Amino acid sequence: MSTSHHHHPHHPPYLITTLLFLFLHFSCLHANELELLLSFKASIQDPLRHLSSWSNSSTTKDVCLWHGVVCNNFSRVVSLDLSGKNISGQILNSKTFRLPFLRTINLSNNNLSGPIPQDIFTTLSPSIRYLNLSNNNFTGLVPRGSLPNLYTLDLSNNMLTGEIYNDIGLFSNLRVLDLGGNVLTGHVPAYLGNLSRLEFLTMASNQLTGGIPAELGKMKSLKWIYLGYNNLSGAIPYQIGGLSSLNHLDLVYNNLSGPIPSSLGDLKKLEYMFLYQNKLSGQIPLPIFSLKNLISLDFSDNSLTGEIPELVAQMDSLEILHLFSNNLTGSIPQGVTSLPRLKVLQLWSNKFYGGIPANLGKHSNLTVLDLSTNNLTGKLPETLCDSGHLTKLILFSNSLDSLIPPGLGTCERLERVRLQNNGFSGELPQGFTKLQLVNFLDLSNNNLQGNISTWDMPQLEMLNLSRNNFSGELPNLSRSKRLKKLDLSRNKISGTVPLGVMTFPQLMDMDLSENKITGVIPSDLSSCKNLVNLDLSHNNLTGEIPSSFSEFQVLSDLDLSCNSLSGEIPKNLGNIESLVQVNISHNHLHGSLPSTGAFLAINATAVAGNSDLCSVNTASGLSPCKIVRKRNTKSWWFVVTSTFVAFLAVLVFGFFITLVVQRKHNVLEVKKAEQEDGTKWEVQYFDSRFMKSLTVKTILSSLKDQNVLEDKNGMQYVVKEIKKYDSLPEMSEMKKVSEHKNILKLVATCRSEKVAYLIQENVQGERLSQILNGLSWERRRKIMISIAKALRFLHCRCAVVAGNLSPENIVIDVKYEPRLCLGLQGQLCMDAAAYMAPETREHKEMTSKSDIYGFGILLLHLLTGKNFSGDEDIESKVNGSLVNWAKYSYLNCNTDTWIDSSIDTSVHHRDIVNVMNLALNCTAIDPQERPCTKNVLQALESISSSSSSCTRYFSKILLLA
Ligand SMILES: *[C@@H]1O[C@H](CO)[C@@H](O)[C@H](O)[C@H]1NC(C)=O
Ligand SMILES: *[C@@H]1O[C@H](CO)[C@@H](O)[C@H](O)[C@H]1NC(C)=O
Ligand SMILES: *[C@@H]1O[C@H](CO)[C@@H](O)[C@H](O)[C@H]1NC(C)=O
Ligand SMILES: *[C@@H]1O[C@H](CO)[C@@H](O)[C@H](O)[C@H]1NC(C)=O
């Protein structure tokens, strides 16, 4: 109107006609406003009747009183706001909103669906300033066309599909554009660059691809850029550094690569810079560390390298610094300690080394500190909790040492403390065990010591103190009713398990193994109704297994081995349906095994070493139980007398047997001889059967004949020189070792003062390395399990490390039974190169965990058929690269390319993936992250035996990792 007024000032008659026309026209339209709005009401559902005031009988003036409608002084509708009214249905016709004075449409937060009318941008009144259709269920394409006066266009959080057209560049007045949270595809249009007034740009959470257009650099008014959660690739254009008003930059969760442009250091107004979860590489440009207004910087989960400069001290406003999961190195700069507002510092999973800067926490309200999985050394700063704000202290898997500083004992707000896998020593600081808010505490695998019997952490859910030197009685956790996991294993805890204290309704895992706990197992332990794993093994527990244990409802794994438990096994223990694994070996239990549940399939090792157990199940290796017949009423004295006589007989017989067994077990048969040259020889036999056939003479003469010896019965032996004579394990141990059917039998040793030989059974068969390529999956699986059994026998029964796993050292005999030729630290099976764990390459001692690594490689070998063992220099390089290569292939879900072609991948796919999974766990670089031998065997046995238990074992194994 004002336009016509100015254009035609000198033509009053014309003006009057025009005004008259306009008046008629608008009053007509005015009447139309009512109809248009009613037609909108008619097209939607309004279950909560918010639009009940929108009545058919209303007059034109009433419209302005309708709910959600706002008029101007001339009773013309200028705003329609029906946000969050639970209305649904479709907008069938864009003309519904053709109200001439309408400036605002807000239909956000409803259940509107169907397509947005494609002509909406051309049919709406050009006066419209604000259009918000966000948080509905609109489908279809983003409409085409433009509204030159629109300030705000918000179509976010719908189901819009298709591409964003270049037309978007025509909204020349747009300040806010939000298309986030849809299913848009295609590129970010370069025409966007024309929106020179745009301040807020969001296209986050779509499926956009391609690069970020450099044209964004032309949008000089931009304050916020949100393009995260797409599939954008390529480099970050340096032109973004020219957006001098920028406050937020968020490009997270894309595939952006290349370096971070140094120009981003020019964004002096920037407060939030989020580039995490991309593939950015190179160093972080120095100028970024001088952005004084930056509050939060998050570059985590990229491949950034280089160091954090001391310059960081200039970032006066910085509250959050997240650089975790990169390849950053160097030491953590002292500069971070002077940042006055620093609250959150997370630098975990990098390659930082050196100490944690002294005074960290002194000058700011430090709240979260996570520097775990680096290579940090030295002691913890005393100042970490100076402000009293610290809630999370996460420093696990470094090489930190010394005392845990006293200041942490009064750090009242601490909730989560993870200091495991370091070298902390000494006692816990005063007050530390009584921090009221701590819910997660892991101090495992340090050198901590001291009495821990006083404890008061009511919020505690997880407590792991294992692998330290803690002593004294068990901590009193009676106030920690939320406890879910308790691991106190491998300490020096003594005393008894108190009655009435260990009741934790939510506890799922309890491990008290390898301590010095005495006394009986309290029967109320069964009040821990959610217990899945209970390990009390390797203590000095006495008394009976409580019959209340049958009340466990979800118990899956029960280990009571290596204690002094006596009495019979409660029959009803076999009724726990969830029970999968039981180990009661090496106690003084007697009577018959329950013949139900987990006891039905129990194997020999889990019951071995008890005085007088019998079983109906032959696999258990126990003697069969006598079937007890019910007696009729015989005279009482007869029963007593015969029992007494039988008892005496058993006693005498038992005594005799014990003598024989002891003799057999502990005394090695010895034969001595002197040769003509005066050398004195001594032969020790592990098995007296060989005494006759193997004399010093035959042994020595075999040395001329390729070290192979054959006795009269045609049995063959190999004779090997023992190099490191001193370091041989106890002879009685070696004897025990060769009892396992998957380990090549040791027969005898023969030694003089100067030299020693070991005589070992020579098995007919082939080395695994020779026949590997043709083996079926089933055969491979059996080999895996048998070798795992051999390892468990060695580690758990004999405390011996094999040390030389490789397909060269495994002989498959004529019955297809694999036999491990035992290295005993590499001495006996010298001819083959073995898989070396990374830590043993650094000349550390071999452990059961290094065997697990070797076993992991063996699994990979069996899966892939990749045989490297012919090479001389396999050790260091190939093992590592085989693991990396397998990880890579596995992560890319590409089983067909890496599995040995003689395995039918279509049939065994699931098993293969599971074994792969296990192998990768076993080959973790950090020995502590590898599963223990027992679990490795469990996992393998569950693969393809029954699918239900399979998943459970795996989740367990993965948890261990
Ligand atoms: C959104 O629409 C889709 C299909 O058009 C439908 O499956 C879904 O249930 C709707 N969601 C809501 C919250 O109405
Ligand atoms: C770190 O660098 C190593 C090689 O130096 C590479 O293998 C690894 O993938 C890198 N890690 C990240 C997170 O980029
Ligand atoms: C630190 O916390 C205290 C109170 O807990 C507060 O008064 C102070 O302003 C905080 N300092 C900063 C820099 O946030
Ligand atoms: C850790 O640091 C030590 C010495 O500071 C160094 O020898 C070792 O190689 C480092 N380890 C890693 C994994 O960077």
Asked if residue 106 is part of any domain, the answer here is no
- Residue 582 scores a pLDDT above 60: yes
Is the CB of residue 905 less than 8 Å from the CB of residue 865? no
The whole-number pLDDT of residue 619 equals 67
Contact 438, 414 (CB under 8 A): yes
Distances (CA, A) of 394 to 468, 735, 874: 18, 46, 38
Ligand 3, atom 10, residue with closest C-alpha: 365
Residue 514 region by backbone torsions, left for phi larger than 0, else alpha for psi between -120 and 50, else beta? left
Q: Is 318's pLDDT higher than 60? A: yes
Write down the mean pLDDT value for the chain.
82
| H or E stretch at 401 | strand 399-402
CB-CB neighbours of 793 under 10 Å: 22
Ligand 4 midpoint to CA 375 (Å):
6
Give me the count of residues in the chain: 961
Q: Residue of the nearest CA to atom 1 in ligand 2?
A: 327
- Burial-class residue 30 by CB neighbours within 10 Å (0-12, 13-18, 19+): buried
For residue 111 and ligand 1, the question of a CB distance below 6 A is answered with yes
731/802 same-domain check = no
Share of the chain above pLDDT 90, in %: 45
Planar angle of CA 881, 885, 886, nearest 5 degrees: 120
Q: Whose CA is nearest to atom 6 of ligand 3?
A: 365
Per DSSP (E only), the strands in 72-172 are 77-81, 88-90, 104-106, 111-115, 130-132, 137-139, 152-154
Q: Mean pLDDT throughout 536-548? A: 93
Is the pLDDT confidence value at 378 over 70?
A: yes
pLDDT bucket at 174, cuts 50 / 70 / 90? very high
DSSP assignment letter at 161: B
Q: State phi, psi for 399 to the nearest 5 degrees.
A: -120, 40
Indicate whether 865 and 952 sit together in one domain: yes
Residue 648 shares a structural domain with residue 736:
no
Q: Which ligand is nearest to the CA of 363?
A: 3
pTM of this structure: 0.65
The two three-digit tokens of residue 702, written as one number? 């075999």
- Whether residues 692 and 644 share a domain: the answer is no
DSSP 43: H
For residues 685 and 691, give the distance between their C-alpha atoms in angstroms, rounded to a whole number.
7
pLDDT reading at 725 higher than 60: no
Q: Which of 278-287, 566-575, 845-854 has the highest mean pLDDT?
A: 278-287
Highest mean pLDDT among 49-63, 110-124, 681-695: 110-124
Atom index in ligand 2 nearest the CA of residue 351 equals 1
**Nearest residue (CA) to ligand 2, atom 2:** 327
Asked if 717 and 711 touch (Cβ cutoff 8 Å), the reply is yes
Q: Which ligand is nearest to the CA of 324?
A: 2
Distance CA 147, CA 293 (A): 36
Whether residue 947 has pLDDT greater than 50: no
From the alpha carbon of 354, which atom of ligand 4 is closest?
5
Q: Is 127 contained in some domain?
A: no
**Predicted local distance difference test score (pLDDT) of residue 299:** 96
In the reported structure, the alpha carbon of residue 351 is separated from the centroid of ligand 2 by a whole-number distance in angstroms of 10
Q: Which ligand is nearest to the CA of 299?
A: 2
**CATH number (domain holding residue 413):** 3.80.10.10
pLDDT at residue 30, as a whole number: 57
Q: How confident is the model at residue 729 (pLDDT cuts 50, 70, 90)?
A: low
Residues 720 and 862 placed together within one structural domain of the fold? no
Closest to 306 in 3D by CA, of 288, 331, 287: 331
Closest Cα to atom 10, ligand 1: which residue? Answer: 137
Give nearest CA residue, ligand 3 atom 9.
365
Q: Does 840 lie in the same domain as 956?
A: yes
CB atoms within 10 A of CB 441: 23
Which domain, by its residues, includes 648?
A: 629-655
* pLDDT in the model for residue 806: 82
Could you tell me the distance, in angstroms and rounded to a whole number, from the CA of residue 365 to the centre of ligand 3? 6
Residue nearest to atom 14 of ligand 3 (CA): 341
| One domain for residues 696 and 798 | no
Q: What does the alpha-carbon distance between residue 277 and residue 411 come to, in Å, rounded to a whole number? A: 33
Ligand 3, residues at Cβ distance < 6 Å = 340-341, 365
668 pLDDT above the threshold of 70: no
Q: Please tell me the residue having the least CA distance from ligand 3 atom 2.
A: 365
- How far is ligand 1, taken at its centre, from the CA of residue 702, in Å? 83
**612-615, strands of its sheet edge to edge:** 566-568, 588-592, 612-615, 623-624
Q: Are residues 734 and 849 in the same domain?
A: no
Is the C-beta atom of 884 inside 6 A of ligand 2?
A: no
User: Is the C-alpha dihedral spanning 773, 776, 782, 785 positive or negative?
Assistant: positive
Q: Is 86 in the pocket of ligand 1 (CB under 6 A)?
A: no
Give dist(CA 349, CA 371) in Å, integer. 8
Average pLDDT over residues 870-891: 46
Residue of the nearest CA to atom 5 in ligand 4? 353
Which phi and psi angles does 859 have, rounded to 5°?
-60, -45
Single residue among 762, 781, 802 that ends a domain in this structure: 762
CA 245 to ligand 3 center in whole angstroms: 29
Would 206 be classed as within a structural domain? Answer: no
- 959: CA distance to ligand 2 center in Å? 24
Question: According to DSSP H, which parts of 669-717 are helical?
Answer: 696-702
Q: Whose CA is nearest to atom 8 of ligand 4?
A: 375
Indicate the residue among 739, 762, 785 that finishes a domain.
Answer: 762
> Among 451, 485, 503, where does a domain finish?
451
Tokens of 960: 């261990």
Lowest mean pLDDT, pick from 317-331, 527-541, 816-830: 816-830
Our CA dihedral for 579, 582, 587, 591, rounded to 10 degrees, sits at 60
Reported in sequence order, the residue ranges of 707-854 that DSSP labels E, i.e. its strands, are: 708-710, 716-721, 746-751, 756-761, 765-767, 810-813, 818-820
Name the residue at shortest CA distance from atom 1 of ligand 4.
375
Question: What are 62's two structure tokens?
Answer: 């009433």
In a domain, 220, yes or no: no
Q: 386 in a domain, yes or no?
A: yes
Q: How far is the CA of 66 from the centre of ligand 1 (A)?
A: 29
Q: Is 881 in the pocket of ligand 2 (CB under 6 A)?
A: no
How far apart are the C-alpha atoms of 236 and 214, rounded to whole Å?
8
Q: Distance from the CA of 352 to the center of ligand 4, in angstroms?
A: 9
72 phi and psi angles, rounded to 5 deg: -90, -175
CATH (domain of 805): 1.10.510.10
SS3 of 899-954? CCCCCCHHHHHHHHHHHHHHHHHHCCCCHHHCCCHHHHHHHHHHCCCCHHHHHHHH
Residue 545 within any structural domain of the chain? no
Q: Whose CA is nearest to atom 10 of ligand 4?
A: 375
Report which protein residue has its CA nearest ligand 1's atom 9. Answer: 137
Helix (H, G, I), strand (E, B) or coil at 162: coil
| 388 and 432 in a common domain | yes
Is residue 13 situated within a structural domain? Answer: no
139 C-alpha to center of ligand 1: Å?
Answer: 9
Residue 230 scores a pLDDT above 60: yes
* CATH number for the domain harbouring residue 720: 3.30.200
Report the distance separating Cα 256 and Cα 234, nearest Å: 5
Ligand nearest the Cα of residue 350 is 2
pLDDT in tens, 396-441: 999 999 999 999 999 999 999 999 999 999 999 999 999 999 999 9
pLDDT of residue 749: 80
- Please tell me the distance between residue 159's alpha carbon and the centre of ligand 1 in angstroms: 9
pLDDT score, position 705: 65
Atom 3 (ligand 4) nearest CA: 375
Indicate which ligand has the atom closest to the C-alpha of 378. 4
Cβ count near 455 (within 10 Å): 17
Same domain, 354 and 370: yes
Q: Report the first-to-last Cα separation within the chain, whole angstroms.
A: 74
Q: Which residue has the higher pLDDT, 952 or 137?
A: 137
Best residue among 317, 365, 366 to mutate for probing ligand 3's pocket (most ligand atoms within 8 Å of CB) is 365
**Angle, helix 905-922 to helix 777-792, in steps of 10 degrees:** 30
pLDDT at 266: 95
Same domain for 724 and 833, yes or no, is no
- 233 to 211, 225, 360, 868: CA distances (angstroms): 5, 16, 38, 38
Q: Ligand 1 mean position to 322 CA, how many Å?
A: 37
- Cα–Cα distance measured from residue 759 to residue 571, given in angstroms and rounded to the nearest whole number: 46
Residue 214 and residue 907: Cα distance in Å, rounded?
Answer: 50
For strand 279-283 and strand 303-305, is the pairing parallel, antiparallel, or unpaired? Answer: parallel
Ligand 2 atom closest to Cα of residue 303: 14
C-alpha–C-alpha distance, residues 66 and 85, integer Å:
14
Between strands 77-81 and 69-71, the pairing is antiparallel
Q: What pLDDT is stored for residue 738 in this prediction?
A: 73
Q: Give a yes or no: residue 101 inside a domain.
A: no
What is the CA(876)–ligand 2 centre distance, in A? 19
Per-residue model confidence (pLDDT) at position 642: 57
Task: Tell me: do 690 and 677 sit in the same domain.
Answer: yes
φ, ψ of residue 746 in degrees (nearest 5):
-90, 135
Q: Which is the closest atom of ligand 4 to the Cα of 375?
A: 1
Looking at the structure of the chain, the number of domains it has is: 4
Pocket of ligand 4 (CB under 6 A): 351, 353, 375
Quickly state the pLDDT bin for 886 (edges 50, 70, 90): low
**Atom 12, ligand 3: residue with shortest CA distance:** 341
For ligand 2, say whether the CB of 327 is within 6 Å of any of its atoms: yes
